[in-house]
């Protein structure tokens, strides 16, 4: 389709103007001005005669135009002249001309654009020169300025100022076999090199469609959001998408790569030796408890009868009788084998400690309550034995009156009802007595009155002479318990933190054992006399080897709560500890005569049976003198025998 614009500037239309002037001259004389200037006037300009050229009465609208297009066969060659407002139908020649110009050909049909060219200046030298001017001198001699320039460049190249233009490729993306000659010269650097750890591989959590258990529940999600980014177990929230098409871009992808980069060049690297230990290997190889029999394993008898907590128990040297003192103010005597209560003595006060005279030829029991130590003769033995014990008690009566030791301890005979019950002697102390202990020979008796402020904490009484003495002249701390050495004249005093050993003959301290615990509760001396165990309220049991060191040879932290009592067996290599957690732990502790061999300590049995009452469990523990049996007394008012 032809679409000619009315603009005079374009070459074809100006040609057109010239062309159609020939037959009908309605030239507009206003010149080459915008047509819009006449839009408010009825005319559009002036012709050669000076007459107005009027616009057509009615402008063609779209419909007219369309109708025209449909009906008029000449429509395609009709051009609207804006300057005159008239339509001009192009003739065949004109259409031909337009076509030629559009094809980029010359307008004139007869013009030959391919005429042979005459070459005036060619490479051939003609016999006649174009000009007659003689050549300049400078065209014969070399140029100085050029020489200067060249020499400058040469100098610049020589000096390295000027570099030849580089070949374009910069070497990037040029690869070759770098490792063609793999020389095995591995430097020390490479040996020391720590390769960066690889990024851990993703787990099921990271899947776009993980199993449902790996997705967060609401609580987990809330927790994750609350947590500090450093504390989070997963750095992202697991998500589930029903199809791959729905998976969005991971917003932290670049971040993660960047952090990896930072890790690679900013993080110090260290070789961490990861202990890869089989936990079973850490458990020490101990002899099997089976091989260390006999030791008590089961609870076989329960001695019931007391109504208060049983603070102290003691077994007669024959092993037939058991004495117990309780908070209900009674001392009971039990037959060991039948758990039958043979005798009960009401002493009128909470009994703190009972101790059976270890001498098998006498039958006496020391009982500590309040500030009194009672000597009982339970008369539960042969006549011979009873007689000999009576003799021991009455030995002094025949002699002179007892010398009032320090004036503070009063010995007195029991009378009346008490005498009938079996109480023979009363030793009145100035303060509350907590513990009584016999010497192995059965003549001496030590009593403890813990008091922080006084040096009157321990008394040693001699039964046969009814004499008491205070061996210490100075307060060395709160005395917890005391004990006699089974063979030699030594005396053990346990204060709050340490155990002091005194030589009674030389009257001096021989050793001080550091217990490494906060508060010693109880102490027992090995029948051999070279080993001591002490329990403490901070759940520890320390075993001292007196020949080895003043520090504990072993600390046993077996109990969960305070250790209340410890005991050695007289014959078997056993010791037991009783604790507030309601258990009695029996350990095997062999002591060798060879000084080089350390004692072998193996826990063999945890005995449970006592019921916790008032947060107290087992209060005292003692072994049977001949059998591998252990007695324990508890806060639940029972005594139990484990065999």
Partner 1 sequence: MGGLQKKKFERGSATNYITRNRARKKLQLSLPDFRRLCILKGIYPHEPKHKKKVNKGSTAPRTFYLLKDIRFLLHEPIVGKFREYKIFVRKLKKAYGKTEWSAVERLRENKPTYKLDHIIKERYPTFIDALRDIDDALCMCFLFSTFARTGKCHVQTIQLCKRLTVEWMNYVITSRSLRKVFLSIKGIYYQAEVMGQLITWVVPYQFSHDHPVDVDYRVMATFTELYTTLLGFVNFRLYNSLNLVYPPKLDSNAESEPKEESEDDYAMNSESYLEKLSALSASLARVVSSAEEEEAQLDHFPTEGIRSAQMEAREKELKQQEAQKKLFEGLKFYLNREVPRESLAFIIRCFGGQVSWDKSVCIGSTYEMTDETITHHIIDRPSVDKQYINRYYIQPQWVYDCVNAKVLLPVEDYFLGVTLPPHLSPFVEEKEGDYVPPEKLKIMALQRGEKTGNEQEEEEEEEEEEEEEEEQEEEEEDDNGDEEDDEEEVAEEKNLKKMEEQRSQGKVIFKVTPGKLKVENKARLEQEEKAEEKRLAIMMMKKKEKYLYDKIMFGKKRKVREANKLAAKRKAHDDAEKAKKKKARK
List the interface residues with partner 1, window 50-109 (CB under 8 A).
Answer: none
Q: Is 395 in the site for partner 1 (CB under 8 A)?
A: no
Torsion of CA 349, 351, 355, 356, to 10 degrees: 60
DSSP state of 616: B
Task: State the Cα–Cα distance between residues 547 and 599, nearest whole angstrom.
Answer: 11
Chosen residue from 203, 348, 399, 489 binding partner 1 by CB under 8 A = 203
Task: State the Cα–Cα distance between residues 409 and 407, nearest whole angstrom.
Answer: 6
Q: Are strands 563-568 and 554-556 parallel, antiparallel or unpaired?
A: unpaired
Q: Is 214 in the site for partner 1 (CB under 8 A)?
A: yes
Q: Which C-beta is closer to partner 1: that of 158 or that of 198?
A: 198
Task: State the Cα–Cα distance between residues 374 and 353, nearest whole angstrom.
Answer: 10
What's the per-residue H, E or C state across 500-534? EEEECCCCEEEEEEECCCCCEEEEEECCCCCEEEE
Q: Is 230 in the site for partner 1 (CB under 8 A)?
A: no
Task: State the Cα–Cα distance between residues 340 and 304, nearest whole angstrom.
Answer: 9
Q: Show contacts with partner 1 in window 598-637 (CB under 8 A).
A: 601-606
Task: State the Cα–Cα distance between residues 223 and 210, nearest whole angstrom.
Answer: 20
Determine the straight-line distance between the first and last CA of the chain, rounded to whole angstroms.
125
DSSP state of 441: T
Q: Which C-beta is closer to partner 1: that of 103 or that of 271?
A: 271
Chosen residue from 556, 563, 574, 641 binding partner 1 by CB under 8 A = 556
Q: Which C-beta is closer to partner 1: that of 303 or that of 438?
A: 303
> H or E element: which one contains 189?
helix 188-192
Least Å from the CB of residue 278 to partner 1: 9
Chosen residue from 262, 337, 387, 487 binding partner 1 by CB under 8 A = 262
Neighbours of 581 (CB within 10 A): 18
Map residues 142-181 to x or -, x wherever contact with partner 1 holds by CB under 8 A. ---------------------x-xx---xxxx-xxxxx--
Q: Is 244 in the site for partner 1 (CB under 8 A)?
A: yes
Q: Is 129 in the site for partner 1 (CB under 8 A)?
A: no
Q: Is 477 in the site for partner 1 (CB under 8 A)?
A: no
Q: How many residues bind partner 1 (CB under 8 A)?
A: 90
Could you tell me how many residues make up the chain?
643
Q: Which C-beta is closer to partner 1: that of 50 or that of 202?
A: 202
Task: State the Cα–Cα distance between residues 589 and 543, nearest whole angstrom.
Answer: 10
Chosen residue from 117, 130, 186, 403 binding partner 1 by CB under 8 A = 186
Q: Show contacts with partner 1 in window 263-322 (CB under 8 A).
A: 264-270, 275, 277, 279, 282-286, 288-289, 302, 304-305
Q: Which C-beta is closer to partner 1: that of 303 or that of 537?
A: 303
Least Å from the CB of residue 421 to partner 1: 19
| Contact stretch for partner 1 (CB under 8 A) within 43-51, 201-209, 372-380, 576-584 | 201-209
Least Å from the CB of residue 212 to partner 1: 4
Map residues 428-457 to x or -, x wherever contact with partner 1 holds by CB under 8 A. ------------------------------
Task: State the Cα–Cα distance between residues 77 and 20, nearest whole angstrom.
Answer: 14
Q: Which C-beta is closer to partner 1: that of 345 or that of 479?
A: 345
Contact between residue 474 and residue 509 where contact means Cβ atoms under 8 Å apart: no
Chosen residue from 190, 272, 274, 614 binding partner 1 by CB under 8 A = 190
| Coil, helix or strand at residue 70 | helix
Q: Which C-beta is closer to partner 1: that of 211 or that of 399?
A: 211
Distances (CA, A) of 302 to 314, 432, 617, 623, 637: 15, 30, 15, 15, 10
| Contact stretch for partner 1 (CB under 8 A) within 3-11, 97-105, 190-198, 377-385 | 190-198
Least Å from the CB of residue 319 to partner 1: 23
Q: Which C-beta is closer to partner 1: that of 11 or that of 557?
A: 557
Least Å from the CB of residue 346 to partner 1: 15
Q: Which C-beta is closer to partner 1: that of 196 or that of 571?
A: 196
Q: Which C-beta is closer to partner 1: that of 442 or that of 573?
A: 573
| Coil, helix or strand at residue 219 | helix
Q: Is 247 in the site for partner 1 (CB under 8 A)?
A: yes
What's the per-residue H, E or C state across 114-141? CCCCCCCCCCCCCCCCCCCCCCCHHHCC
Task: State the Cα–Cα distance between residues 622 and 356, nearest whole angstrom.
Answer: 12
Query: Nearest-5° angle of CA 433, CA 437, CA 440?
Result: 165
Contact between residue 503 and residue 512 where contact means Cβ atoms under 8 Å apart: no
Q: Which C-beta is closer to partner 1: that of 513 or that of 541?
A: 541
Q: Show contacts with partner 1 in window 2-61 (CB under 8 A).
A: none
């Amino acid at each position: 389709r032809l679409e000619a614009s009315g603009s005079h500037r374009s070459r074809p239309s100006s040609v057109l103007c010239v062309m159609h002037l020939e037959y009908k001259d309605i030239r507009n004389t206003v010149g080459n001005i915008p047509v819009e200037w006449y839009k408010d006037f009825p005319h559009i300009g002036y012709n050669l005669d000076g007459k107005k050229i009027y616009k057509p009465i009615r402008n063609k609208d779209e419909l007219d135009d369309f109708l025209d297009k449909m009906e008029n066969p000449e429509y395609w060659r009709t051009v609207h002249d804006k300057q005159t407002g008239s339509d001009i139908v192009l003739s065949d020649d004109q259409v031909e001309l337009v076509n030629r110009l559009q094809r980029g050909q010359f307008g004139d049909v007869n013009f030959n654009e391919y005429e042979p060219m005459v070459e005036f200046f060619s490479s051939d030298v003609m016999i006649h020169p174009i000009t007659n001017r003689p050549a300049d001198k400078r065209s014969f001699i070399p140029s100085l300025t050029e020489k200067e320039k060249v020499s400058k460049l040469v100098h610049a190249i020589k000096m390295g100022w000027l570099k030849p233009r580089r070949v374009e490729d910069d070497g990037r993306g040029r690869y070759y076999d770098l490792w063609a000659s793999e020389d095995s010269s591995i430097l020390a650097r490479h040996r020391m090199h720590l390769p960066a750890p690889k990024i851990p591989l993703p787990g099921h959590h990271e899947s776009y469609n993980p199993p449902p258990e790996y997705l967060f529940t609401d609580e987990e999600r809330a927790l994750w959001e609350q947590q500090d980014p450093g504390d989070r177990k997963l750095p992202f929230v697991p998500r589930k998408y029903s199809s791959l098409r729905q998976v969005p871009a991971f917003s932290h992808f670049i971040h993660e790569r960047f952090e990896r980069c930072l890790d690679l060049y900013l993080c110090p690297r260290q070789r961490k030796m990861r202990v890869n230990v089989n936990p079973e290997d850490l458990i020490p190889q101990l002899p099997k408890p089976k091989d260390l029999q006999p030791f008590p394993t089961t609870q076989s008898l329960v001695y019931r009868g007391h109504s208060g907590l049983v603070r102290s128990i003691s077994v007669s040297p024959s092993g037939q009788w058991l004495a117990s003192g309780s908070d209900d103010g009674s001392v009971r005597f039990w037959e060991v084998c039948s758990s039958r209560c043979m005798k009960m003595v009401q002493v009128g006060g909470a009994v703190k400690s009972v101790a059976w005279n270890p001498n098998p030829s006498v039958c006496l029991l020391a009982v500590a309550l309040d500030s009194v130590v009672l000597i009982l003769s339970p008369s539960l033995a042969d006549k011979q034995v009873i007689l000999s014990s009576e003799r021991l008690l009455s030995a002094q009566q025949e002699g002179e009156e007892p010398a009032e030791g320090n004036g503070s301890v009063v010995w007195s005979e029991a009378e009346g009802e008490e005498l009938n019950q079996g109480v023979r002697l009363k030793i009145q102390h100035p303060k509350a007595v907590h513990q009584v202990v016999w010497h192995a020979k059965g003549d001496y008796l030590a009593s403890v009155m813990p008091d922080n402020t006084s040096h009157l904490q321990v008394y040693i009484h001699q039964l046969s002479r009814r004499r008491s003495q205070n061996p210490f002249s100075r307060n060395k701390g709160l005395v917890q318990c005391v004990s006699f050495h089974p063979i030699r004249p030594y005396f053990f005093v346990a204060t709050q933190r340490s155990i002091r050993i005194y030589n009674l003959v030389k009257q001096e301290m021989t050793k001080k054992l550091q217990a490494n615990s906060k508060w010693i509760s109880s102490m027992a001396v090995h029948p051999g006399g070279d080993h001591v165990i002490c329990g403490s309220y901070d759940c520890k049991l320390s075993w001292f080897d007196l020949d080895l060191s003043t520090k504990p040879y072993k600390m046993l932290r077996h109990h969960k709560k305070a250790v209340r009592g410890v005991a050695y067996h007289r014959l078997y290599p056993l010791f037991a500890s009783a604790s507030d957690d309601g258990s009695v732990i029996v350990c095997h502790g062999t002591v060798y005569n060879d000084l080089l061999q350390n004692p072998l300590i193996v826990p063999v049995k945890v005995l449970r049976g006592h019921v916790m009452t008032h947060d107290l469990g087992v209060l005292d523990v003692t072994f049977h003198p001949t059998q591998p049996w252990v007695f324990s007394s508890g806060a639940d008012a029972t005594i139990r025998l484990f065999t």
